[in-house]
Amino acid sequence: MADLHFHILRRDEVTSTNTEAAAQAKRGAAEGTTVVAREQTAGRGRHGRAWASPAGAGLYFSIVLRPRFPVETFPLLTFLAALSVREALQQGANLTTDIKWSNDVLANGRKLCGILAETIETGRGRSVVVGIGINLTRAANANLPSEIAERATSIEAETNRAPDTDAQLRLTLDALKRRYLALHEANGAAQLLDEYARSSSYVFGKAVRVVTGAETFEGATRGLAPDGALRVELPNGELRIVYAGDVNAVRAVGKPEFSLTSNL
Ligand code: BTN
């Protein structure tokens, strides 16, 4: 793939930048079209949850992509986005973050960024809208229920500085572009998975509780399957492959390999 150019559409208020970017994609918008909004009135999270999006408190944006690789590789786009946000936070805010499988970016164990990727059919083929919400100021979490607010953070809360919103956006897009072009190369998926495994403390040996639509269980993480699914070993040695669900760190109980601690 030759290049990726971002065409930024700024909006004051939208329901959801993902919804707006999807509408743009359906109207034939070029790859790289990016909708950025100061406020979302119906911001969306994963699993049908809402994403609180008060005006100016977060960086809310969605990018239209038209990948040339097979659809099996599409789920890696959320990994790619999380890695890019992580790099941009390091560069722009001097903030070191972790990635909680599959794509939450955490600072000191608290959620700083969420990612929602959605695949849509358009007249120009299948498109993926990658939506990213980064909490900029404390106001992003001010109106959340207390049990959610205490698990969330913002750039301002972590650094005690007002973040440079435009610089953070630009750094994230630059980082995303580099990885997106690389993902189209031979071996691109394997390299991205390697980088992800190096960047996320959740991939190997983390004691976790997994909640899927069907069940809840605890175990220790044992790396990624080639498609990005998370391998989790149960206390009885059985291996589960997790494709979707909430994975949270738990304090260790029982066997030595579960003796890892975490601040979540
Ligand atoms: C999650 O962690 O559940 C994902 C949250 C994704 C939020 C972003 S904000 C920009 C884009 N527009 C949306 O409606 N959602 C994503």
66 C-beta closer than 6 A to ligand 1: no
Q: What is residue 262's predicted lDDT score, i.e. its pLDDT? A: 35
CB 45 within 8 A of CB 111: no
Testing ligand 1's pocket by substitution, the residue of 13, 18, 24, 148 carrying the most ligand atoms inside 8 A of its CB is 18
Which residues fall within 8 angstroms of residue 193, CB to CB, at 6 or more apart? 76, 79, 224, 226, 228
- Quote the ligand 1 centre to 208 CA distance (angstroms): 24
Q: What is residue 252's predicted lDDT score, i.e. its pLDDT? A: 62
49 C-beta closer than 6 A to ligand 1: yes
Number of the ligand 1 atom closest to the C-alpha atom of 18: 12
Q: What is the mean pLDDT of each run of 10 residues along the chain (264 residues)?
A: 94 98 97 98 94 96 97 95 98 97 96 97 96 96 89 96 95 98 96 98 97 94 96 97 94 50 34
What is the value of pTM for the model shown? 0.94
Q: What is residue 39's predicted lDDT score, i.e. its pLDDT? A: 98
Angle between helical axes of 165-183 and 188-199 (0-180°, round to 10): 140
- Quote the ligand 1 centre to 59 CA distance (angstroms): 10
- Quote the ligand 1 centre to 257 CA distance (angstroms): 34
Testing ligand 1's pocket by substitution, the residue of 47, 51, 64, 169 carrying the most ligand atoms inside 8 A of its CB is 51
